[in-house]
Amino acid sequence: MNKEKGYVYLVGAGPGDPGLLTIKGKECIANAEVLVYDRLVSPKLLDYANPEAELIYVGKSPERHTLKQEEINQLLVEKALAGKVVTRLKGGDPFVFGRGGEEAETLVEHGIPFEVVPGITSAIAVPAYAGIPVTHRDFTSTIGIITGNEDPTKEETSIDWSKLATGMGTLIFLMGMANLPKIVGQLLAHGRPAETPVGLIRWGTRPEQETLVGTLADIVEKAREAAFANPAIIIVGEVVTLREKLRWFEQKPLFGRRIVVTRAREQASALTSALEKLGAQVLEFPAIEIAPPLDWEPVDAAITALPEYQWIIFTSVNGVEQFFRRLLAVGQDVRSLYGLKICAIGPKTREALEKLALKVEYMPEEYVAEAIVEGLKGRVQPGEKVLLPRADIARKALPQALTELGAEVREVTVYRTVKSERKVDRLLSALRNKEIDLVTFTSSSTVRNFVAALPPEEKEPLMEGVRVASIGPITTKTARELGLEVDISAREYTIEGLVKAILEHRSS
């Protein structure tokens, strides 16, 4: 790679669903020093960028251009000649009506090395998400992909409508809603039957996907009545009839729901993944971040004294990870826990311990302090020493109740939950634009820091119409104390329990 001249990657971001980005595309985003991106690129893909990277929005739509194409071309040249690694992130595929060819030509003219990273084109993916295969052996084995932006009535059209209209089984027009009446008129005028099925798909592959089906005879009127607009594709052909049988995306139970996940960035993926698999669009707003304690000395002293303890109680996966990370840092390992009885609060915490080949003596059925202590009665004997490695802001109910059982309890802070400033602007923008249906909370600290991110004078209007889902009674109590109405409370205080509660509320 000639670093002196920089390097440019022309990357297809896919049609909208961030999960459709290629592995190589993700690597190019992560390695970019400058990221130049379009309007149709999912904001979630920007999270893969290096925090130090320069992000430049050059969004274009059929109605408005932030930058003209020539200006985008020159921007790529300017940044590359400055020695930068540039990733040009484009919706769909760069070479399918993405004007990537023009950008590549400009780079060649200036002697700038580049690579093309194909993306999944909306011409194929969007119909698939609407339940329409673009080819099917019982219907057609030919497809045509046509720009919808060219005026089909202009004198020097590059489209041969006389051959196109009946020459292929499936016709796919990209970004052609403004020209829909003219496209339909040309197809009818050149022999395509009026009863030919037509599908219009807007915001395809995204939770706000909309599909409108008709025929060449009535689709223009249907689109007008529905105020159907770009970004959309037009698909013409008998394969459209398969939608009624094959539609799958819109059938997902959380399809169309836009949900905020407030867990720490390190732990958000499990909840995010579960919700996305059910069809939801997730905005991760890490209201908290996990940080090391300000002073490791109390933890180190507790590690040194481990042979003196009879019990060690882990209340979270974070507690497990941070404790054992420190255990290794001071030159010890799991053998230091020999002889200790281990209590795990919650199945995920137990799972984290079992991955370390540690046997869990006891896991309560409920994950609040009162129930935990009730289950430990008769197990923890008076005079026994109990070590509690956990967060700095953990409730005092558990150590107090254990003390009442006669145990000698030592709490040590193995991690802190601190307020995150990441993505506050994106969160507030989504709330102001009424783009959020539900906010999830998995701890009291996520509630407190979420509320702190809301301007006090805007809290009520921002949360109007937004549902709140809580993982358990302590979190619910905190939310209500801070003025949030809790609509959904998990009966099982786990991520799985929270997702189940959201589904039950959705179907009620």
Whether 434 is covered by a domain: the verdict is: yes
Catalytic residue among 38, 84, 93, 341: 38
- Of the chain, the percentage scoring pLDDT greater than 90 comes to 71
Does residue 128 share a domain with residue 115?
A: no
Residue type present at position 398? L
Does residue 413 share a domain with residue 315?
A: yes
**Of the candidate ranges 236-245, 288-297, 466-475, the one whose mean pLDDT is the lowest:** 288-297
Q: What mean pLDDT is predicted for residues 96-123?
A: 95
Does residue 410 share a domain with residue 454?
A: no
Q: What mean pLDDT is predicted for residues 204-213?
A: 93
Choose the final residue of a domain: 418, 443, 477. Answer: 418
Does residue 427 share a domain with residue 283?
A: yes
Is residue 363 annotated as part of the catalytic site, yes or no?
no
Catalytic residue among 60, 182, 385, 459: 60
- List pLDDT tens digits, range 372-387: 888 888 899 999 999 9
For residue 150, pLDDT over 80 is answered with: no
Whether 472 is covered by a domain: the verdict is: yes
Does residue 84 share a domain with residue 142?
A: no
Does residue 467 share a domain with residue 393?
A: no
Does residue 213 share a domain with residue 315?
A: no
Q: Which pLDDT does position 63 carry in this prediction?
A: 52
What are the CA-CA distances from residue 193 to residues 187, 190, 200, 217 (Å)? 8, 9, 18, 9
Q: What mean pLDDT is predicted for residues 148-169?
A: 82
Whether 298 is covered by a domain: the verdict is: yes
For residue 265, pLDDT over 70 is answered with: no
User: Rounded distance, CA 205 to CA 201, Å?
Assistant: 9
Q: Which pLDDT does position 91 carry in this prediction?
A: 92
- Greater pLDDT, 171 or 376: 171
Whether 177 is covered by a domain: the verdict is: yes
Q: Which pLDDT does position 154 carry in this prediction?
A: 62
Beta partners for 88? Answer: 10, 36
Please tell me whether residue 280 adopts helix, strand or coil conformation.
Answer: coil
- List pLDDT tens digits, range 10-31: 999 999 999 999 999 999 999 9
CATH number (domain holding residue 88) = 3.40.1010.10
CATH number (domain holding residue 454) = 3.40.50.10090
Count of structural domains, the chain? 4
Mean pLDDT of the chain: 91
Q: Which residues contact 312 (CB under 8 A, 6 or more apart)?
A: 306, 337, 340, 341, 342, 343, 386, 387, 388, 389
Q: What mean pLDDT is predicted for residues 283-305?
A: 89
Residue 118: band (very low, low, confident or very high) from pLDDT cuts 50, 70, 90: very high
Whether 297 is covered by a domain: the verdict is: yes
User: Rounded distance, CA 347 to CA 365, Å?
Assistant: 9
CATH number (domain holding residue 235) = 3.30.950.10
Whether 1 is covered by a domain: the verdict is: no
Q: Which pLDDT does position 3 carry in this prediction?
A: 52
Q: Which residues contact 168 (CB under 8 A, 6 or more apart)?
A: 140, 142, 143, 144
Sign of CA dihedral 95, 97, 98, 100: positive
For residue 289, pLDDT over 80 is answered with: no
* Residue-range definition of the domain harbouring residue 136: 124-251
Whether 99 is covered by a domain: the verdict is: yes
Does residue 274 share a domain with residue 222?
A: no
Choose the final residue of a domain: 65, 92, 120. Answer: 120
- Greater pLDDT, 507 or 55: 55
Does residue 173 share a domain with residue 75?
A: no
Choose the final residue of a domain: 418, 450, 470. Answer: 418
Assigned token pair, 59: 């969004």
- Burial of 256 (C-beta count, 10 Å sphere; 0-12/13-18/19+): middle
Comparing CA positions, the residue from 234, 282, 277 lying closest to residue 257 is 282
Is residue 175 annotated as part of the catalytic site, yes or no?
yes
Residue 66: band (very low, low, confident or very high) from pLDDT cuts 50, 70, 90: low
Catalytic residue among 17, 90, 168, 175: 175
Cis bond upstream, residue 231 (ω within 30) = yes
